[in-house]
Structure 1
């Protein structure tokens, strides 16, 4: 177990007249703002900074979340932050340092490895406070790779998005022991609330996905990459079909992000199993609250550790049963036996890569009586509200900034 400080309870932000960050300028740097937990967090923190009276700059190449960032008061600074070319990164150090001077930046927060190396060099040259957030598990199978990853543990404060991530940092980069702060990923429970989603939004998604009125949906939200477990779900769909299930549609919602070979493998697996009418790839979904409310179950069958597990939290907030792989930070977000009694579960946890176990859990969840499903939904919503609120994440992150700037 770690000895790091766990994030506190949600607090309301002070008024802009009294907040210590009022008038300050904070720059976040991230490769792009397309989709994902790190990208969403960058936008959320920018909004929190703006509400505190600070200037919230985000240096990034762009992406679909830029419009939302700007609508919430954040300022987009076009910057080639995704480059991993050593020469380009060296040039980016000078560009970022110049940008920080021009914009009178008080603190820099990096959310990805390549731009973190750039930011580390720039902030050290300018003597600015530097924060990193360790968002992922990161492949660390060689000395060179571990050194590359280590930049995410070199901030003046290193934010871990879960206790699992904090333990991972300690195991790989023990030099950061005294600088780790756990700040759980936060969810906007005003958006992820069943009452906030009108039936027309759900109906529109079902039509767009080609789902029949009688079909129940098992939803797997996530980019199309092998470790997200799409192949495991397809095999579970085959097993359920062979066992007599005729009324379930399986929706894979996520971008391929250029992984055309993997997409072909998925399509071939679907065709070989004869599941073309039951398993569908629908691309990126911009209305995740409605997607989850359309689903009978949300599946997160990851085959590698999730550093946090945002999708599982969002599904529980929507009152939708979740079935997740039992690894990484999942035990922190989804309660299930043997950790708790069956009557206290908020979802199902299964061994990673185990399609028969996934099929069995999906069938058990689909068989819930309405009263049992309602009770599960209430427990799940209460669980995530207590531990994973957006307000807590924003306040804890802004507390980190205040402490460094106060120093």
Structure 2
């Protein structure tokens, strides 16, 4: 059997944060795939955080290397002046770390840390960029600024057809060899999680409300405000639900959570909405849910939460948009609604409740389909294969 180009190779992986959200969890599977293939993995993070312990537990070495993370707020005249200085300083740090680590290849996880791509090119180290973004709704100039550094990558992989299409539109004729690798999504095998939903949720009464769950950042684009309005509509129609919001805001967006809490109070929904904040382990909450809702109002590159719902055998009501369509397509227990349409979300919940016995029986088949598409082992092998192919081409 031929030896993989990754066997004994040192791979430097750069990532923009140290949290435990979607792209962070995909990073963990990417790193595991590289290590399983025999590589030594060094992960460069700009800050420390809970991801450090997780990466180290998987066998990676973590180095803190402050480099700028590109936010859309920086893409203004004043922001660009500041960003230029930080990019230069970050480039010096990145080059210094690469000279120390001497990697055979660099993997850049997301397009928000662009300094690593030109540094790798300048040092003649092959570099793969893993694109998790799909900023279709951003102005054309901003999209070009976000995506143009990819022209210096050796290879690109995207997490969905939609992400790759947005990328190619933003930077036409300049994209290196590219491929789609669907995200790997892990769900614990605990019986309380994958045994499926309750035999029958309550009739939607105050004594036994239907339990809805939102997982993700509390941000306008993720649509928790749409979920809240759907709760009100369901209540007014005679169906009582209890919505749990599992997630926190980005720093600087505390105003948005305040607006959500004020809206809940003004509409007398305090006994039907729980703000759970961020939790490292979401699965005990998932185990208590009847239906998962994904009400994003803007473009999504993919939709890990939609896949998690299928893996956990929970029916899903999801916005029919962008990468979410790919994530949820083909599942019998998913219901779709137009982005931003609270009435549509409420109707999707009601439809699931009206067909509860049938939906419950179909969750097992949907779980099997999700495993065939997104089992971590499938993803790890595919991701490592892309890095190995890049090394073989530039060996």
1:131 alignment partner, SS class: strand
In the superposition, relative to structure 1, how do residues 323 and 144 fare at CA in structure 2: closer, same or farther (>3 Å)?
closer
- Structure 1 residue 383, shift from structure 2 partner: 1.9
Cα 1:311–1:176 change in 2 (3 A) is farther
1:148 to 136, 146, 149: 146
Query: 1: distance between equivalents of 2:244 and 2:282?
Result: 13
Q: Is the 8 A contact 1:134 1:152 kept in 2?
A: no
TM superposition shift of 1:375: 2.3
* C-alpha deviation, 1:178, in angstroms: 5.6
Q: Which residue of 2 aligns with 1:87?
A: 85
Q: Could you tell me whether the CA contact under 8 Å between 1:299 and 1:323 is conserved in 2?
A: yes
Q: Hey, what does 1:355 align to over in structure 2? A: 342
Please give the alpha-carbon distance, in whole angstroms, between the structure 1 residues aligned to 2:207 and 2:16: 41
2:258 corresponds to 1:249: no
1:259-314 deviation line (CA, Å, top 9, x unaligned): 11111110111111100110121101222232222110000010012101000001
Aligned equivalents of 1:303 and 1:257: distance in 2? 17
Determine helix, strand or coil for the equivalent of 2:156. Answer: strand
In 2, the alpha carbon distance for the partners of 1:188 and 1:176 equals 34
Relative to 1, partners in 2 of residues 1:266 and 1:152: Cα closer, same or farther, differing over 3 Å?
A: farther
Contact 2:218 2:247 in 1 (8 A): yes
Please give the secondary structure, in 2, of the residue aligned with 1:329: helix
**Which residue in 2 is equivalent to 1:104?**
102
Instruction: Return the offset for 1:224.
Output: 0.7
Structure 1: state its 5+ residue gaps: 1-13, 203-211, 337-343
Kindly indicate whether the alpha-carbon contact (under 8 Å) linking 1:70 and 1:76 is maintained by their aligned counterparts in 2: yes
Partner of 1:6: none
Q: Is the 8 A contact 1:250 1:278 kept in 2?
A: yes
**Cα distance, 1:254 vs structure 2:** 0.5
Cα deviation 1:99-155 (Å, max 9, x = unaligned): 112112111111233422x11221122100011111011253042542233224542
Q: Which residue of 2 aligns with 1:195?
A: 191
Say whether 1:68 aligns with 2:62.
no
Within 2, Cα distance between the matches of 1:69 and 1:175? 36
Contact 2:68 2:90 (8 Å CA) reproduced: no
SS in 1 for 2:213: strand
Shift of 1:390: 1.6
Contact 1:30-1:58 within 8 A present in 2 as well: yes
Aligned residues: 369
1:114–1:178 Cα change, 3 Å: closer
Is the Cα contact below 8 Å between 2:244 and 2:276 reproduced in 1? yes
Aligned to 1:50: 35
TM-score, length of structure 2 as denominator length = 0.87
Once residues 197 and 356 of structure 1 are traced to their aligned partners in structure 2, the CA distance between those partners, rounded to angstroms, is 29
Change (3 A) 1:376 1:237: same
The 1:245/1:213 distance shift into structure 2, 3 A limit, reads: closer
Give how far 1:83 is off. 4.5
SS at match of 2:134: coil
Alignment check: 8 A CA contact 1:43 1:74 kept: no
Cα distance change of structure 1 residues 328 and 144 upon mapping to structure 2, 3 Å threshold: closer
Q: State the match for 2:170 in structure 1.
A: 172
Instruction: State the match for 1:135 in structure 2.
Output: 132
- 1:62 to partner: Cα distance: 2.0
Q: Deviations over 1:303-353 (max 9, x none)?
A: 0121010000011001000000000122222236xxxxxxx7230011111
CA distance in 1, matches of 2:121, 2:349: 51
Runs of 4+ in 1 over 4 A off after TM superposition: 196-199
Counterpart position of 2:77:
none
CA pair 152-38 structure 1, distance change in 2 beyond 3 A: farther
Question: Does the CA-based 8 Å contact 1:253-1:281 persist in structure 2?
Answer: yes
Q: What is the CA–CA distance in structure 2 between the aligned matches of 1:159 and 1:198, rounded to whole Å? A: 31
Offset of 1:236 from its aligned partner? Answer: 0.5
Q: Decide whether aligned partners of structure 1 residues 114 and 358 sit closer, same or farther in structure 2, where only a CA change above 3 A counts.
A: closer
Cα RMSD, aligned residues only: 2.3
Instruction: State the secondary structure of the residue aligned to 1:380.
Output: helix
| 1:38 pairs with 2:23 | yes
* Closer/same/farther in 2, CA of residues 228 and 83 from structure 1, 3 Å limit: closer
Distance change >3 Å, CA 312–CA 398, structure 1 → 2: same
CA distance in structure 2 between the partners assigned to 1:69 and 1:369 by the alignment: 40
- What is the CA distance between 1:177 and its match in structure 2? 5.0
Contact 2:67 2:93 in 1 (8 A): no
Closer, same or farther in 2 for the Cα pair 1:221/1:21, shift >3 Å? same
The SS at the match of 2:113 is helix
